[in-house]
Amino acid sequence: MGESQASLLLRKQLKDLTRNPLDGFSAGLVDDSNVFEWAVTIIGPPDTLYEGGYFNAIMSFPGNYPNSPPSVRFTSDMWHPNAVYPDGRVCISILHAPGDDPNGYELASERWSPVHTVETILLSIISMLSSPNDESPANIDAAKEWRERREEFKRKVSRIVRRSQEML
């Protein structure tokens, strides 16, 4: 039996990223025998609080990718108000199952679509790091600190960036 459509697509996306790397992140397999588990490093975007940081994450793809979204979880420390839960799970619209939002927060067009690739997901995460927002917090404590004690928030992110550089 041949490879699944999902694994063929993931191998193609990995090959494309290896041949034409993009600024801002690197990606590869956690283990060469499993194309459904990727290790990614996101470089903190310039002119943001996260600038200069190296943040590691794991992308886990479902067997029916691209019909369902992967999950992404930071394994590095991350302090962000609206898109990263305290356990590191990334919460951005494009990683939510396709269709209407049962909570009514997101339009169907903002949620997962099979046209997304590893590249578009990682660029969305980089964009999220560039513009913290406390409107719909994933990390209540980070959102409260962002709102009420901005300097403390900045110091905490600065420490996380420094620690990420020491891990290299």
Structural domain spans, the chain: 5-166
Indicate the DSSP class of residue 68: S
CATH of domain 5-166: 3.10.110.10
Instruction: State residue 2's pLDDT score.
Output: 60
Q: Which residues are catalytic?
A: 91
Asked whether the CA dihedral 147, 148, 149, 151 is positive or negative, the reply is positive
Task: List 46's β-bridge partners, or say none.
Answer: none
Low-confidence ranges of the chain (pLDDT < 70): 1-2
Q: Is 56 within 8 Å of 40 (Cβ atoms)?
A: yes
Instruction: State residue 36's pLDDT score.
Output: 98
**Exposed/middle/buried for 26, CB within 10 Å: 0-12, 13-18, 19+?**
middle
Q: What's the whole-model pTM score?
A: 0.92
Instruction: State residue 1's pLDDT score.
Output: 45
